[in-house]
Amino acid sequence: MGGYAKKGILDRLAQGPVIGDGGFVFALEKRGYVKAGPWTPEVNIEHPQAVLQLHREFLRAGSDVMQAFTFYASDDKLENRGNEAQQKYSGAAINKAGCDLAKDVASEGDALVLGGICQTPSYLSGLGKDAVQNEFRKQISVFVENGVDFLLCEYFEHIEEMEWAIEVCKETSLPVAASMCIGPEGDLHNVSTGQCAVRMAKAGADIVGINCHFDPDTSLKGMALMKVALAEAGLKPYLMVQPLAFHTPDAGKQGFIDLPEFPFALEPRICTRWDMHKYARDAFNMGVRYIGGCCGFEPYHIRAVAEELAAERGKVPRGSEKHDPWGGGLMMHTKPWVRARAHRSYWESLKPSSGQPYSAALSQPDGWGVTAGNKLLEQQKEVTPGSGPTTIGDCNGSVSA
Ligand SMILES: N[C@@H](CCSCCCCC(=O)O)C(=O)O
Ligand SMILES: [Zn+2]
């Protein structure tokens, strides 16, 4: 529309809650378009319709932000441990395609477009600040060329690398959001959760918080620590949180990737839409104003966040056309006992069973305790020796670290 100026992220946060989108790598992996392991977004080029559809589902569910699918799209990651995406398509093309797809769908609603960067193999390999910032700069330049509305540094587990990322983002004039994949125990170099928030804000981030690795409850415990530390430091960035949609009370410091169920047997841990009502309300009451999701978050989870905050936002998402509040649509069911469940008190008080009689309630996380600088994490182009099975029939492959 001529002369129509989309309201920017900071103006929107000043007026009330902004709803993020959900977990692209997990959702597209389940749909057969992203490979677990590398988790890289070459699908933007290989199957753009799949990415468009997922963006559209999140827009319909109430997302105010279309995050370009650029996660793990740094050149070094796209050629790490046998990945051919860099050589086949190039990081620049994958990032640009991600921006184009996000912009296409954002224009179908009043959504903003976000360009995101994340942790790099170069950092884990100890290549140093210049090499790491060079990887970030290549992605950020594509985002600026393609007119994204703001930038996100997400999924960092070392505050040092996060600060380097924010520094590169601040070379632009765009608002910067920053979220660490940490819980209440702090980052992997033992910097406290609160101090990570202070350092993100001092590095220049306008919005700071937590994403991934932990469930809503644990993530909000981390956010509470961030809020206190920021207040003590006299800093007032906006707060953001985008947790997992998996229950992880048994996760250690590294979060869900240390759980034995990661990544292919997390289904019993999936949060219900009703869990997301509680999450959204708790986050809003804590003063968090950017409320979204990460791995495991499907559009119906985001719709629940949007429905819980409908009064604050003055609207319900279009996806609520097919979802009366709190299950009210069940009044149209043929069976009376199902109709009897068409109300809030039933779903809010239900403690759903897992249906897995031989499953433990909790697992014992792996605890390899390795992080940046350890040889096991170093980047390499070659496929990891002793790799797993390469065909369905060959399932006896033994994998070395
Ligand atoms: N914005 C991203 C966040 C992905 S967080 C990825 C967690 C798994 C990473 C790994 O196992 O290396 C997304 O929407 O998928
Ligand atoms: Zn995630």
How many residues does this entry show for the chain? Answer: 401
pLDDT at 391 over 70: no
| Mean pLDDT for the stretch of residues 343-352 | 97
* Position with higher pLDDT, 103 vs 398: 103
Does any ligand 1 atom lie closer than 6 A to the CB of residue 23? yes
pLDDT at 381: 86
Ligand nearest to the CA of 34: 1
Cα(324) to centroid(ligand 1), Å: 31
Alpha helices, DSSP H, located in 146-259: 159-169, 193-202, 216-232
- Please give the structure tokens belonging to residue 12: 């929107």
CA dist 197 and 202 (Å) reads 9
* Position with higher pLDDT, 93 vs 398: 93
pLDDT at 60 over 90: yes
Q: Which atom of ligand 1 is nearest to the CA of 155?
A: 5
Does any ligand 1 atom lie closer than 6 A to the CB of residue 33? no
pLDDT at 398 over 70: no
pLDDT at 388 over 90: no
Cα(197) to centroid(ligand 2), Å: 19
Does any ligand 1 atom lie closer than 6 A to the CB of residue 156? no
Contacts 24+ apart (CB under 8 A), 4-11: 6/110, 6/112, 6/149, 8/112, 8/149, 8/150, 8/175, 9/65, 9/112, 9/149, 9/150, 9/175, 9/177, 9/206, 9/207, 10/175, 10/206, 10/238
Ligand nearest to the CA of 245: 2
Residue 368 pLDDT grade (very low, low, confident, very high; cuts 50, 70, 90): confident
| Mean pLDDT for the stretch of residues 340-357 | 97
Residue 305 pLDDT grade (very low, low, confident, very high; cuts 50, 70, 90): very high
Q: Which of 25, 181, 213, 377 to mutate to test the pocket of ligand 1 (most atoms within 8 A of CB)?
A: 25
| Mean pLDDT for the stretch of residues 12-25 | 98
Q: Which atom of ligand 1 is nearest to the CA of 22?
A: 14
Does any ligand 1 atom lie closer than 6 A to the CB of residue 127? no
pLDDT at 3 over 70: no
Does any ligand 1 atom lie closer than 6 A to the CB of residue 377? no
Q: Which of 294, 370, 371 to mutate to test the pocket of ligand 1 (most atoms within 8 A of CB)?
A: 294
Does any ligand 1 atom lie closer than 6 A to the CB of residue 176? no
- Please give the structure tokens belonging to residue 269: 């841990």
Strand-pair category, 18-19 with 176-180: unpaired
Q: Which of 94-98, 250-254, 319-323, 373-377 has the lowest average pLDDT?
A: 373-377
pLDDT at 304: 98
Residue 379 pLDDT grade (very low, low, confident, very high; cuts 50, 70, 90): confident
What's the farthest any 2 CA atoms get from each other in the chain? 66
pLDDT at 261 over 60: yes
Does any ligand 1 atom lie closer than 6 A to the CB of residue 25? yes
Ligand nearest to the CA of 25: 1
pLDDT at 240 over 60: yes
- Please give the structure tokens belonging to residue 313: 């936002």
CA triplet 26, 95, 294: central angle to 5 degrees? 25
3-state secondary structure of 340: coil
CA triplet 249, 251, 255: central angle to 5 degrees? 125
Neighbour count for residue 295 (Cβ, 10 Å): 28
Ligand nearest to the CA of 102: 1
Amino acid at 247: H
Averaged pLDDT of the chain: 95
pLDDT at 124 over 50: yes
pLDDT at 19 over 70: yes
Does any ligand 1 atom lie closer than 6 A to the CB of residue 310? no
For the segment 177-202, what is each residue's pLDDT rounded down to a tens digit?
999 999 999 999 999 999 999 999 99
The residue whose C-alpha atom lies closest to atom 9 belonging to ligand 1 is: 39
pLDDT at 1 over 50: no
For the segment 152-182, what is each residue's pLDDT rounded down to a tens digit?
999 999 999 999 999 999 999 999 999 999 9
Cα(352) to centroid(ligand 2), Å: 24
Residue 68 pLDDT grade (very low, low, confident, very high; cuts 50, 70, 90): very high
Cα(131) to centroid(ligand 1), Å: 22
* Whether the model pTM is above 0.90: yes
Ligand nearest to the CA of 294: 2
pLDDT at 37 over 90: yes
Cα(69) to centroid(ligand 2), Å: 12
Cα(160) to centroid(ligand 2), Å: 20
Does any ligand 1 atom lie closer than 6 A to the CB of residue 274? no
Sign of CA dihedral 210, 214, 220, 226: negative
